[in-house]
């Protein structure tokens, strides 16, 4: 092989590697942005479900008029339960943090406090501050309130 051919092969390999790196970076960046799932709004869910039912079942206008309120109510109930479960999960984490902090040395508590602050700031970027432990339900000594009590 002469020098030009070797150079071309090296350039092709380098270009292929670079293209793969760029593509991987773009995919990784996009995946990182979509890490936080945002559930659809009740109205969006309701419209999607109603539209699917109407299309697939070929509902009459009378049927759709009776089914749509049922779907609307179910979607609103789902959102309310989801919001309550997020509160209860946040409560569990906050209670855990308090129990962990009680087991740490003063210097560990300082570092743990910094970790908690970083987590709060990160959560703030995503729009969901954690509720206060004092205002959370079920402060009965268990690690977190059982969800079955809510049903």
Output helix, strand, coil percentages for the chain, rounded to the nearest 5. Answer: 75, 0, 25
Q: How many domains does the chain have?
A: 1
Lowest model confidence (mean pLDDT) among 43-52, 92-101, 106-115, 123-132: 123-132
Q: Is the pLDDT confidence value at 115 over 60?
A: yes
**Does the residue 60 lie in any domain?**
yes
What is the CB neighbour count within 10 angstroms for residue 88? 19
Give the domain range for residue 136.
41-150
Q: Is the pLDDT confidence value at 85 over 90?
A: yes
The pTM of the whole model exceeds 0.85: no
Q: Is the pLDDT confidence value at 140 over 50?
A: no
**Does the residue 3 lie in any domain?**
no
**Does the residue 21 lie in any domain?**
no
Q: Is the pLDDT confidence value at 144 over 80?
A: no
Cα angle 147-149-151, degrees, rounded to a multiple of 5: 85
**Does the residue 17 lie in any domain?**
no
**Does the residue 18 lie in any domain?**
no
């Amino acid at each position: 092989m002469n020098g030009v051919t070797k150079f071309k092969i090296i350039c092709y390999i380098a270009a292929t590697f670079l293209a793969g790196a760029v593509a991987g970076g773009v995919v990784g960046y996009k995946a990182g942005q979509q890490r936080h799932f945002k559930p659809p709004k009740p109205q969006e869910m309701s419209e999607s479900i109603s539209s699917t039912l109407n299309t697939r079942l070929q509902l009459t206008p009378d049927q759709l008029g009776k089914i749509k309120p049922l779907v609307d109510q179910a979607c609103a109930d789902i959102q309310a339960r989801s919001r309550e479960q997020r509160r209860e999960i946040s409560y569990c984490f906050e209670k855990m943090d308090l129990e962990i902090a009680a087991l740490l040395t003063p210097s560990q508590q300082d570092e743990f406090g910094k970790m908690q602050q970083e987590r709060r700031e990160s959560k703030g970027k995503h729009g969901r501050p954690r509720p206060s432990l004092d205002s959370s339900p079920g402060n009965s000594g268990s690690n977190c309130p059982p969800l079955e009590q809510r049903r």
